[in-house]
Structure 1
Amino acid sequence: MNAYTLSPAPATAEALQPFGRHLGLRSGGSAVVSTEGDGWSDRRSLNAIIDTPGSLGHTIGAATPFRVSGMERHPHTEEALFCAGEPVVVAVADTAGDRPAAADVRAFLLEPGDVIVLNRGVWHTACYGVGTPTPYYWLATADDSIVDEWVEPHGGPVHVETPGARS
């Protein structure tokens, strides 16, 4: 594997720490409230998950493998990404400056029930479905007067493999 080919790592609290937070609705934990009734079970966040009022979005991401040829960032809001029915992959980079560095790009696999909350200013791609186009949800403050430019990573692009694939 060369320096600009990545395999996604599982989205965990430890792995995501430099980029944001992980909320495991599947597994529960101290930040998750669980309830159940006749024929259903429910898990929700204990607190608000982004620090501003948010708009809910729905995106259909293309399939892995993919090329990170463009990334965006949001200095005005955190962004939560929700994996619902099928796994998705997102690439992120926490680079200061006007564009991310290819060497800083990391990729994460989100399984159903995973929610990640990206810190303000973290560069990221859209999410990509594992081997097939896949829908996912996001929550962020949406302001049409703010244009978040998509830029290619310096030294890129970066190739992200399908999870489990070998180079």
Structure 2
Amino acid sequence: MKSIQSKIVDKDNFGKFGEVVKFPTGRTTSQDITYKFWSNIANYKIEGKTEIGICTVYKQDENIIEGVERHLHTPEILIPIDAPFVLPLLKEGEPDDNIESFKVEIGEAVIVNESVWHGACLPVGKDSASYFVIFRLNTPVEDVEKKSISPTLIET
């Protein structure tokens, strides 16, 4: 069985799968003594209405994934709520052995591009992790393609 080590997500290593959103360090768009606001720190395009869901995932004895899914008509935005998570990803057309995994911390978000294969997130450091899922309305019933992959152990 293949085993892969998760990477700390950054713009360079995640770029072929989508976009990373981290707390900005540059100049604010607007600020006052009561707030600071950074605009336009990430972009994505979704046709039509969107939905926000919450997914909770649970720690397993071993983080083995044997399947992935993708969405052809929407990017997917994932935002950790109560714990970091690890996200397995595979680019369309690449062999299963090219699967990669990224650790996303609370306060960060990732935008997974359309057509990118992904596994369910895996909790890090806790028995469970919940995260916001944002994508096109009705994606779970209208735009999910699944496939099996070679069993892969994800090291968090």
- Contact residue 102 and residue 157 of structure 1 kept, 8 A: no
Unmatched 5+ residue regions in structure 2?
A: none
For 2:29 and 2:81, locate their aligned partners in 1 and report how far apart those are by CA, in whole Å: 18
Q: How does 1:85-124 map to 2 (within 5 A)?
A: 85-96=82-93, 101-124=95-118
Question: Match of 2:59?
Answer: 63
> Relative to structure 2, which stretch is displaced further, 41-50 or 132-141?
41-50
What are the superposed Cα offsets for residues 118-159 of structure 1, whole Å, 9 maximum, x if unpaired?
111000011111142111111100326524132112xx1111
> In the alignment, is the contact (CA less than 8 A) between 2:56 and 2:131 conserved in 1?
yes
Residue 68 of structure 2 aligns to a residue in which SS? Answer: coil
Q: Which amino acid aligns with 2:86?
A: V
Uncovered stretches (5+) of structure 1, i.e. residues with no partner = none
CA deviation vs aligned residue, 1:35-57 (integer Å, no higher than 9, x gap): 6766xx67665267431142111
Query: Structure 1: how far apart are the matches of 2:26 and 2:138?
Result: 32
TM-score between both structures, scaled by the size of structure 1: 0.77
Equivalence for 1:18: 16
Alignment match, 1:77:
74
- Cα separation, 2, equivalents of 1:124 and 1:31: 34
Length-normalised TM-score, structure 2: 0.82
Identity %: 21
Conserved 8 A contact 2:21-2:41 = no
Q: Cα RMSD between the aligned structures?
A: 2.7
Q: Deviations over 1:72-118 (max 9, x none)?
A: 0111001111023311011000022xxx6321200000011111101
Name the count of aligned residue pairs. Answer: 151
User: What is the letter of the counterpart of residue 81 of structure 1?
Assistant: L
**Cα distance, 1:63–1:160 mapped onto 2, change above 3 Å:** same
CA distance in 2, matches of 1:19, 1:31: 27
